[in-house]
Amino acid sequence: MRTALLFPGQGSQAVGMGQSLAQAFPEARAVFAAVDDALGERLSTLCFEGPAEALALTANTQPAILAVSLAAHAVWAARAPAPAYVAGHSLGEYSALVAAGALGLADAARAVRSRGLYMQEAVPKGEGAMAAVLGLDAAKVAEVCRAVAGEDVLAPANYNTPEQTVVAGHARAVERAGPRFKEAGAKRVVPLNVSAPFHCALMAPVVPRLKAVLDAVRVQALGVSVVTNVEAKANAEAARVVPLLLQQVTAPVRWVECVQAMVAAGVTRMVELGPGRVLSGLVRSTSRAVEILNVEDAASLEKALAAVAGP
């Protein structure tokens, strides 16, 4: 079976995440120790013990999810065959790049700490918003955004499933669009509790600041192709890693197409590595052609390894 490893993004965090893996596996403990050292603080304690309010801050959430995801990856990689592809949702693309060998763990931890901080600072609190539009075709979501935006920013930010598209932009535009999405046939419009309107033009101030960080990072040859958010196709070129990460800041996450591209390339199993099962749910809503496993703690690892081993 051709396997792809998937890495979650922001929104998958929960107090206690990664603790089971750290207690049970030295590979996981080594990842948490390396991230703590890179940031000069005990981020692992925040993952394991909270408080939830501090964990929810974007500047903390992003390196915390990266740490847990890569702890899960370290444990998995020591016990399972190498994947055909890796991919990550938004922030998760950094985890995927570490798994592919393109970025070092310490560099990635510092980069996503900066990324999270810059995203938090890009838009004054209350001026931006995001909402999930459920049950409406993505093309119609984009059409409503164009019709409603006016002088404001409003655009699709995450193409998560064929019937779930997240929009981002000015809070007033997101609010204005709600009734229009429903008129167009949406089943529900769900405001998201986020600290910034990610993956839209309002994130433009992040790009030059993040570029200065990423330009100082050594990008190494990729050992496995990364299916990128921006292009929804596999990239194996080290020279394209940083440009794609910078484009990702303001471009939508094309997750539906990422999943479809991996399935078309012959992937029959996807393993979500990291906290929660958000991506597993998105994959199930996009394709029934793949087996989906997840690894977030010792119990789920055992179950996933048993599935890979077969009868």
Q: Which residues are catalytic?
A: 90, 199
**Would you state the structure tokens that stand for residue 91, as one six-digit string?**
């922030």
In angstroms, the CA 216 to CA 57 distance is 25
Q: Give the number of other CB atoms < 10 A from CB of residue 240.
A: 17
In angstroms, the CA 174 to CA 160 distance is 18
In angstroms, the CA 273 to CA 286 distance is 19
Spell out the residues 6+ positions from residue 125 whose beta carbon is closer than 8 angstroms to its own. Answer: 195
Q: Give the number of other CB atoms < 10 A from CB of residue 23.
A: 12
> For the chain, what is the largest distance between any 2 Cα atoms, rounded to a whole number of angstroms?
59
